[in-house]
Amino acid sequence: MSQRGSVLPPLVDRHILTSKTRNDVGVGAFAFLFSEIVQYSQTRVSNVSELERKLADVGFDVGVRMLELLVHREKAGKRENRILGILSFLHTNVWKNLFGKTADSLERGTSADDEYMISDHDLLVNRFISVPRDMGHLNCGAFAAGIVEGVLKSSGFPARVTAHSVTSEGLSRPKTTILIKFSPEVIERDERLGS
Amino acid sequence: MSSKAKGASPGGGDRINSELFTLTYGALVRHLLLDLESPEEVNKQLDKMGQNIGIRLVDDFLAKTNTGRCRNFREAAKTIAETGFRMFLGCSAKVTQIDDKECKMVLSENPLTDFVELPEKLQPLSYCSLLCGVIRGALEQISMKVECEISKDPLKGDERFELHMRLVEYVNEEYPFKDD
Amino acid sequence: MLLSLYIVNKSGGLIYHRDFSSLAKLDTNDTLRLGSIWHSLHAISSQLSPVPGCKGIELLQAETFDLHNFQTPTGIKFFAVAECNSQGVDRFLKRVYGLYADYVLKNPFYELDMPIRCELFDLQLTSEVTLTMNA
């Protein structure tokens, strides 16, 4: 937090912009930046899983900071301590702030009770990307999965989060489903706190 | 995707919250520092990535704003300042000095640097190098070779964010049957 | 009525081609030839102009078809073959430019100037063609 003769006030004293004064950027700005991040990441990895991991790592950073920003701005520092609470926060607040709309659905997993799914019919991150056939199941939504993982870890709900393409009736293209698998201690704690 | 009505945005297209953009850029810079370690290397990489973005971004700009061909450096610089920055970064740039070969422009805000403060040991980092690369790459696609640098940087203590562009040369279009 | 669409990069290489009807189909080699010949013809046509600053051929009319051409300031050519006196083709070409900017250029797996193989671009183009044909 050094001054170095800067005319701007120290970072911590600056206003966190409210939703009324925040600026918009063109969707192209993000899309091109993200596309470049994908291309750069490809040069540092040797297979599809590593690429998804790297994108998720970048997203993780975003998630951690987004949480701090949102908790301060929208929840006056109140902390979620229930699974449904944090998931709802993700589905509604986080999604709206990052992507301009709430997520399309929030569901409990059918195969395991430590799994939940947040789905988006038109995930911004994937909107312009056509994955070539030779890249198999690559989903650049891994970046969004990383964001979710960052938010969850920082709020005390560690989980393994991955992104998947799911074809859905009535949709012209597959939706992106973010699969969240909570660590056992999170499930235990939630059961203890619950009725 | 909702478009916030803050007056007509050039290109009329979708707008998104700048925070996703700002935080993503920050995460990129952080990861580049982890991967490459030296701030000077990161500057080069950011510039290269910017150039790669610029050569694609220019077509997006032209397609969405229905801009015709910029006939010279002056027109291009003005277009970048008046329309380009607003379309992509949601901020305006003011041209403070311009002639046929050089120009300076000042950005009122810069979404890349919201929430950012450079620590002492990273002073050599030119955080917004990407922007210079974008401008260079974009103009290269319309036959102008330019140099672009950040002449004033608030992250380094200056009052405002200023870009300095210089025309190196016009690159004539290749005529397929030139007998050289 | 649109018959076919071609996209040629700034060096004259054909990067995309699609036929919208089974009429007047060229084989692969001929489509490549058409791409590079059109590129050269377009370049020469700008030189033919009696005044400087000519942008080259925009419309070629033949007895049984029209060829509409749109060249971007970056040197990419979008051209379409359509039935004579078809309406809305120029607007269609500009829309295709927009789709190219979105679903090709923003795709990290697309390498500039190479043939376009982007599923989303194909899908969006199909919708755009349907829109144009029904207008």
Distance from CA of A163 to the nearest CA of C (A): 18
Provide the mean pLDDT of chain B. Answer: 88
Q: B21 is written with which tokens?
A: 């953009």
Quick check: B63 and C72 CB within 8 A?
yes
DSSP letter at A152? H
Strand pairing report for A115-120 and A105-108: antiparallel
Exposure class string for B66-92: b at 16+ Cβ within 10 A, else e: ebeebeebbebbbbbbebbbbbbbbbe
B142 touches chain C (CB under 8 A): yes
Domains contained in chain A, number: 1
- Residue A43 placed within a domain: yes
Q: What is the mean pLDDT of residues B61-65?
A: 94
Please give the pLDDT value at position A6: 43
> For residue B94, what are the β-bridge partners?
B106
Q: B106 is written with which tokens?
A: 């000042």
- Nearest residue in chain C measured CA to CA from B64: C98
**For residue B47, is pLDDT > 90?**
yes
Distance from CA of C72 to the nearest CA of B (A): 8
End-to-end Cα spacing for chain C:
10
Instruction: Give, for all 195 residues of chain A, the pLDDT tens digit.
Output: 333 344 455 566 555 554 445 678 999 999 999 999 999 999 999 999 999 999 999 999 999 999 988 888 876 667 888 999 999 999 999 999 999 999 999 999 888 889 999 999 999 999 999 999 999 899 999 999 999 999 999 999 999 999 999 998 888 889 999 999 999 999 999 999 885
- Residue A13 placed within a domain: no
List Cβ neighbours of C30 (8 Å cut-off, separation of 6 or more).
Answer: none
Looking at A4-8, B50-54, B139-143, C48-52, which range is the least confident one?
A4-8
List of chains touching B (3+ CB pairs within 8 A): A, C
DSSP letter at A69? H
B92 touches chain A (CB under 8 A): no
| Cα distance between residue A125 and residue A179, in whole Å | 16
Q: In this structure, which topology does domain C2-134 adopt according to CATH?
A: Beta-Lactamase (3.30.450)
B140 touches chain C (CB under 8 A): no
Q: Residues of B with CB below 8 A from C105's CB?
A: 56-57, 59-60
Quick check: C109 and A128 CB within 8 A?
no
Domain assignment of residue A78, given as a range:
26-193
What Å distances lie between residue A18 and A66, A70, B51, CA to CA? 14, 10, 33
Pick A35's closest partner by Cβ from C108, C117, C120: C108
Residues 49-88 on A with a CB inside 8 Å of C are none
- Nearest residue in chain C measured CA to CA from B139: C74
Please give the pLDDT value at position C54: 81
List of chains touching C (3+ CB pairs within 8 A): A, B
Domain ranges of chain C: 2-134
pLDDT tens for residues C75-117?
Answer: 999 999 999 999 999 999 999 999 999 999 999 999 999 999 9
More confident residue, A108 or C133: A108
| Cα distance between residue B114 and residue A141, in whole Å | 25
Q: What is the pTM of this model?
A: 0.92
Percent of chain C with pLDDT over 90: 70
Quick check: B14 and A7 CB within 8 A?
no
Q: B101 is written with which tokens?
A: 């070969």
More confident residue, A92 or B2: A92
Percent of chain B with pLDDT over 90: 69
- Residue A177 placed within a domain: yes
Q: What is the CATH number of the domain that holds A69?
A: 3.30.1380.20
| Cα distance between residue B60 and residue B141, in whole Å | 12
pLDDT tens for residues B66-114?
Answer: 888 888 999 999 999 999 999 999 998 999 999 999 999 999 889 999 8
How many Cα atoms occupy the beta-carbon half-sphere of A142 within 13 Å?
A: 18
Angle, nearest 10°, between helix axes A48-74 and A27-44?
140
Looking at A13-22, B112-121, C29-38, which range is the least confident one?
A13-22
Domains present along chain B, CATH in parentheses: 47-109+124-170 (3.30.1380.20)
Mutate to test the interface with C, among A128, A133, A138 (most CBs of C within 10 A): A128
| Cα distance between residue B103 and residue B167, in whole Å | 9
- Residue A153 amino acid letter: K
- Residue A67 placed within a domain: yes
Interface predicted TM-score of the whole assembly (ipTM), two decimals = 0.92
- Residue B2 amino acid letter: S
- Residue A8 placed within a domain: no
Looking at B25-34, B147-156, C16-25, which range is the least confident one?
C16-25
List Cβ neighbours of B170 (8 Å cut-off, separation of 6 or more).
Answer: B143, B144, B145
Q: B31 is written with which tokens?
A: 């990861």
List Cβ neighbours of A176 (8 Å cut-off, separation of 6 or more).
Answer: A119, A120, A123, A125, A126, A139, A141, A144, A163, A164, A165, A166
| Cα distance between residue B166 and residue B168, in whole Å | 6
Q: What is the mean pLDDT of residues B46-66?
A: 95
pLDDT band at B3 (very low <50, low <70, confident <90, very high): very low
pLDDT tens for residues B5-31?
Answer: 444 567 666 899 899 999 999 999 999
Q: Residues of B with CB below 8 A from C106's CB?
A: 56, 60
Helix H or strand E encompassing A23: none
How many Cα atoms occupy the beta-carbon half-sphere of C12 within 13 Å?
A: 16
Please give the pLDDT value at position C92: 95
